[in-house]
Amino acid sequence: MLATPASTLSVPFIVDQVFVLFKDWLVSFLPTSWRPAAGIVLGVIGIVCVYPGLFALTTVFERKGLGRMQNRYGPNRVGPYGFFQPVADGIKSLTKEDIIPFDADAVVHFLAPLTLVVTVFMGFAVLPMGRNMVLVNLDAGLLFFFSMSAATELSVFMAGWSSRNKYSLLGAMRAVAQMISYEVPLLLTTVAVVMIAGSLSLPKIVEAQSGYTGWFPHWYIFTPWGLASFLIFAIAATAETNRSPFDLPEGESEIVAGYHTEYSGFKFALFFLGEYVAMFSISGIGVTLFLGGWSAPLPFLNVVPSWLWFFSKVMLSIFVFIWMRGTLPRLRQDQLMNFAWKFVLPFTLLNLGVTALWRFMGEGWARWVVSSIILAGVYVLMGRVGMFKKHFGPRSYRYAE
C-alpha cells in the first residue's frame, strides 16, 4: 500500500501514518492472500472502537457544555470533573430491564436499533479519516455514504411503528417526513461539490481541496458557492440527525421521546449511540466535502498529523451542534416544512446554477464577484420577501386566554 522509499520516512511522516503502518505491520504476519481481508477487519475494529469512544466523550462534553451555556456546572460527580459520567451511564443502561411493550411487534422492535446502528456505522467505510486512512476507496463513495444514511430512515420508522405507541408513531412519522424533506437539499449541495471536484470518490474530493494559493487553502468553503452549500449542508445535516432546533421527532415536551419512547436499557443505548454516531458521520462527510477533509488549514501546519486534523474538524462541528442545541428553540412542524421546501430547496437549486456558472467562467476574479453577488442578493431578497408581512412581537392565542 505504501510505496514510499525509506529515505523519506521522517518523523512527521511516521506520526501521520502511524495507524496505517501499524496495520501493515500487523497484517504482515499473515499469508499474502489473507492480507486485504485482514486489513479491512482491522480497519473495522478501529472504527468500531474509536467512534463509540468519541460518543462517550461527546455525551459528557455535551452535558457540560450545555450546562456552561446555561450557567451551570453540568455533571461533575463521577470521577475527576465528571469525566467518568459515561461509564456510569453505560453501566446503568446495561443493567436496566429491557422492556418490550405487550402489544409491540417484538421482532421489528428488536431489529430497529440494530439496523440503525449498522447502517450508521456503514457510512464510515468510505470516509477518509487521514492520509491513506480510508477503509474502502469506492469509486462511488459519496453515493454509498448517502445510500446508507437514507437507509437509517427505515429503522426509525420500524422503531416507531413496532412500539404500538401513538407518541412513537408520531415521532417516527415526523422523523421520516423531516429526513426525506431535508435529504433533498443535502444531496443537492453535495452535487455542487461533485460538479467541481469531478468525482464521487471521497479521497479524490479531499485531494482536490488539498492545495494552497500562498497561505490560502483550496477548501470549498472558501468559495461563494461552497460557503452557501456548506451552510445549507449544515442546516440539512442538523435536520437529518434530528438535532435541535430540528429535534421534533423526539420533542420531549409533546411526544415524550418520539420513536424511542418504548425502548429501555441497552436498546435505548443503541439508539442513543446511533444518533451520535450519525452526527459524527455527517460531520465527517461535511468536513470531507467542504473543509478539506484531513488537510491542514495552513501549509506549515502540515507537520500535524492528518488524522488529527480530521478529528479536530469533526469535533469542532460537534461543538457547533451542541452550541446550536444550547441556543435555538425547537421549530414547529409547519415551520420546519416551510423552511425546507420554500427556502432551503429553492436556494439550493440556485446555488447549483451558480456552481455551474463558477465551473464554466474559468479562473479569475470575475467568477468570485458574479457568484457572490448572485448568492448574497438572492439571500437578502428571499429574506425580505419571506419576512414581508410577518408580525413579530408578543404571541397571541386564539383559544387559550
Partner 1 sequence: MLGEGILKGMAETAKNFAGSFVSVDRLTTVEYPEQRIPTFENARVFPFLVYDGPDWAAGLRCVACQICEKECPPKCIYIEKSQGKKPDFVGKPQFYPTRFDIDISVCMSCQICVEVCPFEAIKMDTEFELATDNRFGGLLLDRQQLAKSNEYYHQIHPTEATEVDARLDAEKEAAAAKAKAAAQAAAAKAGEAAKAASAKPAPPTGGED
Partner 2 sequence: MSPVFYVLAVFTVAGGLAAVLLKNTVHCALALTVAFAGLALLFLNLDAQFVGFAQILIYIGAVAILVVFAILLTRGTETPPTGVFSHSWFVGLVIAAGVFSVLGWAVLQSARNLPQEPAVPSVTVHDIGVALLGRYVLPLEIVALLLTSATIGAVIVAMHEKGRAQ
Q: Cβ 152 to partner 2, closest distance in Å?
A: 9
Q: How many degrees, rounded to 5, is the angle at CA 121 between CA 93 and CA 2?
A: 130
Judged by beta carbon, residue 124 or residue 144, the one nearer partner 2 is: 144
Output b/e per residue, 237-246; b: 16+ Cβ within 10 A: bbbbbbbbbb
Burial of 337 (0-12, 13-18, 19+ CB in 10 A): middle
Distance of CA 257 to the CA centre of its chain: 21
Binding status of residue 45 toward partner 2 by CB under 8 A: no
CA distances from 233 to 72, 146, 163, 285, 287 (A): 31, 13, 32, 10, 11
State how far the Cα of 125 lies from the Cα of 51, in Å rounded to an integer: 12
Judged by beta carbon, residue 244 or residue 355, the one nearer partner 2 is: 355
108 binds, among partner 2, partner 1, none (CB under 5 to 8 A by kind): partner 2
Judged by beta carbon, residue 162 or residue 295, the one nearer partner 2 is: 162
Judged by beta carbon, residue 13 or residue 379, the one nearer partner 1 is: 379
Which of 57, 154, 256, 370 lies at the binding interface for partner 2 (CB under 8 A)? 154
Which of 124, 144, 230, 290 lies at the binding interface for partner 2 (CB under 8 A)? 144
What one-character DSSP code corresponds to residue 243? Answer: -
* Binding window for partner 2 (CB under 8 A); candidates: 34-42, 143-151, 262-270, 382-390: 143-151
53 binds, among partner 2, partner 1, none (CB under 5 to 8 A by kind): none
324 binds, among partner 2, partner 1, none (CB under 5 to 8 A by kind): partner 1
Q: Which residues contact 57 (CB under 8 A, 6 or more apart)?
A: 86
Q: Cβ 103 to partner 2, closest distance in Å?
A: 12
Residues of this chain that bind partner 1 (CB under 8 A): 65, 68-73, 323-324, 326-328, 379-380, 382-383, 386-387
Which of 10, 28, 137, 147 lies at the binding interface for partner 2 (CB under 8 A)? 147
Whether 129 contacts 294, CB under 8 Å: yes
Judged by beta carbon, residue 198 or residue 386, the one nearer partner 2 is: 198
383 binds, among partner 1, partner 2, none (CB under 5 to 8 A by kind): partner 1
Whether 102 contacts 144, CB under 8 Å: no
Judged by beta carbon, residue 21 or residue 356, the one nearer partner 2 is: 356
Radius of gyration of the chain (CA): 23
382 binds, among partner 1, partner 2, none (CB under 5 to 8 A by kind): partner 1
Q: Grid coordinates 490560502 are at which residue? A: 216
Q: Cβ 90 to partner 2, closest distance in Å?
A: 30
Q: In 3D, which of 176, 168, 175 has the Cα closest to residue 262? A: 168
Q: Cβ 379 to partner 2, closest distance in Å?
A: 25
Judged by beta carbon, residue 70 or residue 253, the one nearer partner 1 is: 70
Judged by beta carbon, residue 24 or residue 105, the one nearer partner 2 is: 105
Which of 38, 108, 356, 382 lies at the binding interface for partner 2 (CB under 8 A)? 108
Q: How many CB atoms lie within 10 A of CB 357?
A: 14
Give the DSSP letter string of 65-96. Answer: HHHHHTT-----SSSGGGTTHHHHHHHHHHHS
- Give me the 224-243 binding string for partner 2, x by CB under 8 A, dash otherwise: --------------------
Whether 236 contacts 189, CB under 8 Å: yes
Binding status of residue 143 toward partner 2 by CB under 8 A: yes
Output b/e per residue, 149-162; b: 16+ Cβ within 10 A: bbbbbebbbbbbbb
Contacts of partner 2 in 174-213 (CB under 8 A): 176, 180, 183, 198-200
- Interaction site with partner 2 (CB under 8 A): 105, 108, 138-140, 143-144, 146-148, 150-151, 153-154, 157-158, 161, 169, 173, 176, 180, 183, 198-200
